[in-house]
């Protein structure tokens, strides 16, 4: 699961995307470029992550701006159709019909994805269920599966038809550490040769499987680059202190009783090695970085 370097040119290019809900600017001029491999999308609650994914998945049109994905421009109906044909989308709350078996659910999605030949479709459904290691339970009803298995069914559904662009909205949420590792491995596999955009609250997801990361807050891109670049931003800006540091951008008590602070350290501060999470909190620049404990 070593993060791979960027492969080839941009496959998805978004320029100045905006979307308002009443007085809320969910997206406020978002520009970004994705290439093949897994890009992580980090941001606090309400940052606009789900909205961005829904726009890129053509579930909702933006108010302003534009994007192309794999050469398709969704502003035209043929572009939208072309994009949807090459898209795999795992929404935040997949709408499962609990009485479906795993096979029937993925088959249903395959029908929606226009795989009309029954024999070829069933073989594709078996292929994707096998890819997420669920062949043994494909005849089980969804309500009888664990949360982790249901997430894998949702990933299998997103993988039907071998899409070139995968949009995954917080797929690792609610999984125990072992399942999360397993799921990360499946996403890393899916990222080989595909463009994957993965929204998550887990900086470890990004550290372990993403070759690029985008930080979104308040509907704006606060950082776009590699995880190493995000971590490097915090070099010299993380320090330990015996008491709470009053001017730190964020600070929290650690298990050994000292405080870990990020921001502008005082002279002679006891500097610590930065983590990706430190870089992420600094990228938020105070926005929702309320981790004082
Ligand atoms: N359908 C909607 N109607 C009204 N407001 C909405 C709608 N969808 C999103 N919003 C608002 O837009 C903003 C961005 O929401 P969004 O769900 O995209 O954030 P998020 O980063 O995915 O958050 P979370 O991490 O909590 O899932 C929030 O202020 C939210 O309340």
Instruction: Read off the pLDDT of residues 262-274 as tens digits, 9 standing for 90 and up.
Output: 999 999 999 999 9
Residue located nearest, by CA, to atom 5 of ligand 1: 21
Count H helices and E strands in the chain, helices first. 9, 12
CA of 71 relative to ligand 1 center, distance in Å = 28
Choice from 27, 49, 93, 287 to test ligand 1 binding pocket (greatest atom count within 8 A of CB): 49
For the chain, give the number of residues. Answer: 293
- pLDDT band, very low/low/confident/very high, at 290 (cuts 50, 70, 90): very low
The pLDDT > 70 percentage for the chain reads 94
CA distance linking residue 20 with residue 1, whole number of Å = 37
Q: List the beta strands (DSSP E) in 111-249.
A: 165-169, 195-199, 212-217, 220-225, 238-241
Residue located nearest, by CA, to atom 12 of ligand 1: 26
The complex scores an ipTM of 0.97
CA dihedral sign, ordered 285, 24, 56, 101: positive
CA 178 distance to own-chain centroid: 19
1-86+163-226: CATH number: 3.40.50.300
- Could you give the 3-state DSSP secondary structure of residue 138? coil
Is the distance from the beta carbon of residue 37 to the nearest atom of ligand 1 less than 6 Å? no
Q: Average the pLDDT over each of 73-77, 104-108, 130-134, 218-222 and give the range with the smallest value.
A: 130-134
Q: What is the pTM of this model?
A: 0.91
Q: What is the pLDDT of residue 246?
A: 87
**Token pair listed for 81:** 């159709």
Residues 96-144: tens digit of each pLDDT: 788 899 999 999 999 988 898 999 999 999 999 998 889 999 999 999 9
CA of 27 relative to ligand 1 center, distance in Å = 9
CATH code 3.40.50.300 region(s) in the chain:
1-86+163-226
CB 183 within 8 A of CB 168: no
Q: What is the pLDDT of residue 8?
A: 66
Residues 139-175: tens digit of each pLDDT: 999 999 988 888 889 999 999 999 999 999 998 887 7
- pLDDT band, very low/low/confident/very high, at 194 (cuts 50, 70, 90): very high
Closest ligand 1 atom to 92 CA: 27
Residue reference for tokens 């302003």: 64
CA of 149 relative to ligand 1 center, distance in Å = 27
Q: Average the pLDDT over each of 74-78, 146-150, 207-211, 215-219 and give the range with the smallest value.
A: 146-150
Q: What is the pLDDT of residue 287?
A: 61
**Token pair listed for 106:** 């993925």
Is the distance from the beta carbon of residue 46 to the nearest atom of ligand 1 less than 6 Å? yes
- Could you give the 3-state DSSP secondary structure of residue 62? coil
Non-local CB neighbours of 284 within 8 Å, separated by 6+ positions: 44, 215, 217, 222
- pLDDT band, very low/low/confident/very high, at 183 (cuts 50, 70, 90): confident
CA distance linking residue 191 with residue 177, whole number of Å = 21
Q: What is the pLDDT of residue 289?
A: 41
Is the distance from the beta carbon of residue 51 to the nearest atom of ligand 1 less than 6 Å? yes
CA of 46 relative to ligand 1 center, distance in Å = 5
Residue reference for tokens 């899409």: 163
Residue 222 has pLDDT above 50, yes or no: yes
CA distance linking residue 253 with residue 251, whole number of Å = 7
Q: What is the pLDDT of residue 4?
A: 46
**Mean of the pLDDT values across residues 218-246?**
95
Residue located nearest, by CA, to atom 7 of ligand 1: 21
């Amino acid at each position: 699961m070593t993060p791979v370097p960027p492969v080839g040119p941009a496959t998805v290019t978004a320029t100045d995307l905006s979307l308002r809900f009443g007085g809320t600017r969910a997206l406020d001029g978002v520009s970004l470029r994705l290439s093949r491999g897994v890009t992580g999308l980090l941001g606090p609650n309400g940052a606009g992550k789900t909205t961005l994914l829904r726009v890129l998945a053509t579930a909702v049109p933006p108010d302003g701006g534009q994007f192309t994905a794999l050469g398709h421009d969704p502003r035209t109906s043929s572009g939208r159709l072309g994009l949807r044909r090459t898209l795999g989308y795992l929404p935040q709350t997949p709408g499962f019909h609990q009485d479906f078996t795993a096979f029937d659910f993925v088959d249903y999605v395959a029908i929606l994805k226009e795989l009309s030949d029954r024999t070829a479709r069933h073989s594709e459904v078996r292929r994707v269920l096998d890819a997420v290691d669920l062949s043994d339970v494909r005849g089980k009803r969804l309500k009888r599966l664990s949360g982790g298995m249901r997430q894998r069914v949702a990933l299998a559904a997103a993988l039907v038809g071998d899409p070139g662009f995968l949009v995954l909205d917080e797929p690792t949420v609610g999984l125990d550490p072992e399942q999360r590792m397993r799921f990360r491995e499946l996403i890393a596999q899916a990222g080989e040769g595909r463009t994957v955009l993965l929204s998550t609250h887990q900086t470890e997801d990004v550290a372990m499987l993403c070759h690029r990361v985008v930080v979104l807050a308040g509907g704006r891109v606060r950082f776009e680059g590699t995880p190493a670049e995000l971590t490097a931003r915090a070099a010299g800006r993380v320090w330990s202190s015996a008491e709470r540091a009053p001017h730190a951008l964020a600070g929290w008590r650690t298990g050994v009783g000292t405080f870990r602070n990020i921001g502008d350290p005082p002279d002679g501060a006891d500097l610590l090695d930065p983590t990706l999470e430190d870089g992420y909190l600094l990228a938020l620049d105070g926005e929702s970085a309320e981790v004082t404990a």
